[in-house]
A = this chain, B = another copy of it.
Amino acid sequence: MNEIVRAKVGQAVELLRELDLPLWIAQFARETGDHPELVQGLVVGMSVTWPAAFVITAAGETTAIVGTGDRSSARDLGAYADVVGYVHDVGPPLLDLLRRHDPARIGLSFSVDDDTADNMTHGMYLQLERILAGTSYAGRLTSAAPVLSALRARKLPVELDRIRAAIESTHTLLARVPDLLQIGASERSVADAVRREIEQAGLGLAWDAAHNPIVNFGATSSTGHAAPGDTRLDAGMLAHIDVGVQREGYRSDLQRTWYILEEDEETAPADVQRAFSTVLRSMQEGYRALRPGIAGWEVDAVARSVIVDAGYDEPEFAFGHQLGQLAHDGGGLLGPRWPRYGARPEVPLEAGNVFTIEFGLPTRAGAIGLEEDVVVTSDGAEYLSSPQTELVCLRR
């Protein structure tokens, strides 16, 4: 993780300049081994026992103020040029640093709107207020959420490599799923087998085990964020899986759909095939709309209109979300302008953003669901996954 953290600290300096924030206390926290914060995976890279301040300035200075017991870890990390150890009180060295820089604004890692940028406890905020009490710095505190959001969203090449590796592992896993799709197998048994393979491969889960993978067999299965159940696979059913892994701190998120042929069938029924083709076309047209500068809701609208124009009910969820150190990596969303998504669909896409694109439709044979992972490039987008382009029919 050190390589990532060192690179992201460098990126943070550029972002502070771009967003005109002179100084950012990226983390002000304690005992983060017991309760880690997301910012640690981006620009901190270690846990601390005693209260510590990790400070980055737009001038490019990086300082970690840590209890002496955490000093050697901070030095070994090598992401902060200046490592200051203290014995009694984190306050004086932090005040010294602020006096030296005299920043017009002091960014802190909290956010009302974006949980992935909300990385500071209220108790530590109050502790900082106490340290700054009576100084002019007390009135200069501000949210650094724009920096933190951009830092999550703009993936560096080293981060893209890790996301690609997680996706590659997921493709390997998915290639073995048809073997598990035997008549009579339950959703739960397939989910358990996939989870065992993930564990045996030394990978982590991209989200909680109760819902990873999601497995749906046939039309009576609960779709959405539902746990796999007792439904058993039979001919004439669609088999749908939504799975993601974690590899070296980065995650994948993919969906695939198969059809189990009836004895007398050569292909899936025409209405099932038509629903699949519609979902596929919505994915492909949404993908082609991806480019820097376009708002997330505009991409969602392109894909959504394919579904609706074909006469199907409108999907009740967004077309895509960001992906990275988290499966739902926060920030801008490829979603409709519905109140429940707040301002997230308004965020313009940037080169280096990694999104899922995902749509689905219910059919009388079960749920169709496709999900790919993509990166926005300077003039469009690239697939990070190898897209599913046809409904694979299995004879059992």
Q: Residues of A with Cβ closer than 8 Å to B?
A: 30-31, 33-38, 47, 69, 87-88, 108, 110-113, 115-127, 130, 143, 207-208, 225, 326, 328, 339-340
Give bound CA distance, A207 to B124, whole Å: 23
CB distance from A210 to the nearest CB of B (A): 9
CB distance from A50 to the nearest CB of B (A): 9
Report B-chain residues with C-beta under 8 Å of the C-beta of A108: 122
Report B-chain residues with C-beta under 8 Å of the C-beta of A31: 115-116, 328
Give bound CA distance, A324 to B375, whole Å: 44
Give bound CA distance, A108 to B328, whole Å: 27
Give bound CA distance, A57 to B33, whole Å: 31
Known: A34-B326, A120-B122, A122-B125. 19 other contacts (CB 8 A): A31-B115, A31-B116, A31-B328, A35-B115, A35-B119, A47-B208, A69-B225, A108-B122, A110-B126, A112-B123, A117-B123, A118-B122, A118-B124, A119-B121, A121-B121, A121-B122, A122-B124, A123-B143, A125-B125
Q: Which residue of B lies closest to A36 (CB)?
A: B35
Q: Knowing A35-B37, A225-B69 touch, does A115 contact B119 (C-beta < 8 A)?
A: no
A115 touches B340 (CB 8 A): no
B35 touches A88 (CB 8 A): no
Report B-chain residues with C-beta under 8 Å of the C-beta of A30: 115
Give bound CA distance, A235 to B124, whole Å: 49
- Among B69, B116, B143, contact of A34 (Cβ-Cβ < 8 Å): B116
Q: Knowing A115-B34, A208-B47 touch, does A110 contact B88 (C-beta < 8 A)?
A: no
Report B-chain residues with C-beta under 8 Å of the C-beta of A113: 123
Give bound CA distance, A113 to B328, whole Å: 32
